[in-house]
């Protein structure tokens, strides 16, 4: 269910683009992201920072796209978001000596500190990769190709998350309170 909630704004964006144009698709994306955020809040009764940032960036870059009738804004939104996330995670880890990933997820996952550090580095590299590939496609390919990349580019996060799951599974600490006597 959660995957469907995460995926539906981009799916609706692609459908709207195919049926109309980038501006209609941008408006649909903005509305779908508001609905998505509302659904997540209704389920979890809270929003994670990434969800808030995503909503804010979609609304800002979407509004600029529509008001200025310039598709570059919506095309560059993912690059800005991914680069910002890499910058925040990297600066927190290497400058402020804080592991934001660990701070956010340690209540759900019990992992050694070294594993948390490696996961954070992997996320920084992943975000930089995604920022770079989006920037490349946005700059050098047609809007049609960029929209198709947004749809089929979902393979990157899926593969990354599968890899993360495999890596994390090897390092999960057993919770003694869940063991049966």
Question: Measured between alpha carbons, how far is 17 from 143 in angstroms, rounded to an integer?
Answer: 10
Same domain, 15 and 84: no
In this prediction, residue 173 carries a pLDDT of 63
In this prediction, residue 177 carries a pLDDT of 47
**Last residue in a domain, options 58, 82, 104:** 58
Q: Under the phi-then-psi rule, with left for phi > 0, alpha for psi from -120 to 50, and beta for the rest, what region is 45?
A: left
50 lies in some domain: yes
Same domain, 101 and 149: yes
Same domain, 53 and 137: no
Same domain, 36 and 115: no
160 lies in some domain: yes
In this prediction, residue 50 carries a pLDDT of 82
Same domain, 36 and 110: no
180 lies in some domain: no
Same domain, 164 and 82: yes
Question: Measured between alpha carbons, how far is 171 from 111 in angstroms, rounded to an integer?
Answer: 6
- Sign, Cα dihedral of 145, 149, 151, 152: positive
137 lies in some domain: yes
In contact, 69 and 23? CB cutoff 8 Å: yes
**Last residue in a domain, options 29, 58, 87:** 58
**Last residue in a domain, options 33, 58, 83:** 58
In this prediction, residue 176 carries a pLDDT of 47
Question: Measured between alpha carbons, how far is 91 from 68 in angstroms, rounded to an integer?
Answer: 33
Same domain, 98 and 46: no
Same domain, 89 and 168: yes
Same domain, 159 and 94: yes
Nearest to 130 by CA among 167, 83, 94: 83
In this prediction, residue 5 carries a pLDDT of 86
**How far lies 84's CA from each of 35, 80, 156, 159, in Å?**
24, 6, 18, 21
In this prediction, residue 179 carries a pLDDT of 45
Question: Measured between alpha carbons, how far is 72 from 61 in angstroms, rounded to an integer?
Answer: 9
pLDDT in tens, the chain (181 residues): 777 888 899 999 999 999 999 999 999 999 999 999 999 999 999 998 888 999 999 999 999 999 999 999 999 999 999 999 999 999 999 999 999 989 988 888 889 999 999 999 999 999 999 999 999 999 999 999 999 998 888 899 889 999 999 998 988 865 544 444 4
Contacts of residue 4, Cβ cutoff 8 Å, sequence gap at least 6: none
Same domain, 98 and 163: yes
**Chain CA centroid to CA 46, Å:** 17
Same domain, 78 and 167: yes
What is the number of structural domains in the chain?
2
DSSP state of 174: P
Which domain covers residue 28, as residue numbers? 1-58
Same domain, 80 and 127: yes
């Amino acid at each position: 269910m959660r995957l469907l909630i995460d995926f539906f704004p981009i799916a609706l964006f692609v459908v709207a683009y195919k049926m109309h144009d980038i501006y209609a698709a941008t408006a649909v994306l903005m509305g779908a992201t508001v609905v998505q955020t509302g659904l997540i809040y209704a389920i979890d009764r809270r929003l994670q920072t990434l969800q808030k940032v995503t909503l804010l960036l979609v609304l800002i870059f979407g509004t600029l796209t529509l008001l200025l009738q310039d598709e570059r804004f919506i095309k560059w939104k993912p690059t800005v978001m991914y680069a910002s996330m890499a910058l925040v995670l990297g600066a927190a880890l290497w400058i402020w000596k804080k592991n934001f990933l660990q701070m956010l997820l340690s209540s759900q996952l019990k992992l050694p500190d070294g594993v948390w550090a490696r996961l954070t580095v992997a996320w920084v590299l992943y975000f930089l990769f995604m920022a770079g590939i989006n920037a490349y496609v946005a700059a050098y390919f047609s809007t049609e190709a960029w929209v198709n990349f947004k749809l089929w580019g979902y393979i990157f996060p899926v593969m990354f998350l599968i890899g993360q799951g495999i890596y994390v599974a090897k390092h999960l600490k057993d919770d003694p309170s869940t063991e049966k006597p």
